[in-house]
Copies of this chain bind each other. A is one copy, B any other.
Amino acid sequence: MEPEILELESFLPYRLYRLADTVSREFSKIYKDRHGLTRPEWRTLSGLGERGTMTATELGEQSAMHKTKVSRAVAELERRRWLTRTPDETDRRVEHLALTKAGLTAYREMVPLAKAFEQDLLARLSAEERTAIAKGVAALEATLSAS
């Protein structure tokens, strides 16, 4: 074990990134092929589908996107008429976003595909491995959100 060498293969930040990149790339094929969505657009669709109504700021918090990404994704989904904006009654800076019928249809079509993707991935692991990844990821999330 030479101290001056870093083994990239076992370096956690690198491994996490590569893993997430691979999984995310694979999954993105689904919404890209299906609807030509970008990741920010998919997350926006997904967030609104799940929660019903959100503001752009809330969307950014929920899905860990920079506000410019949210802004552009919302603009694109609006252009497709997949969502509408409703001005807030009391604060005129704020807009409440919600999916249209068309947006909801697309979302409902995506949900089973997303779940199937996750299931397929997890099905290749043993029960202990599934527990391990869940526990490990949760632990890291916890420390990172704390700091």
Contacts and interface: CB of A to CB of B under 8 A. Distances in A.
Interface stretch (A73-81, A86-94, A95-103, A118-126): A118-126
A4 B108 contact: yes
**Chain A residues touching B, majority SS:** helix
Contact of A118 (B12, B50, B62, B115): B12
Number of copies of this chain that the complex holds? 2
Contact of A8 (B8, B62, B141, B143): B62
29 contacts: A4-B108, A5-B49, A5-B111, A6-B50, A8-B46, A8-B62, A12-B137, A13-B20, A13-B23, A13-B27, A13-B121, A15-B141, A16-B20, A16-B23, A17-B20, A18-B141, A20-B21, A21-B64, A23-B140, A23-B144, A121-B143, A129-B135, A129-B139, A132-B135, A132-B139, A133-B135, A133-B136, A133-B137, A134-B136
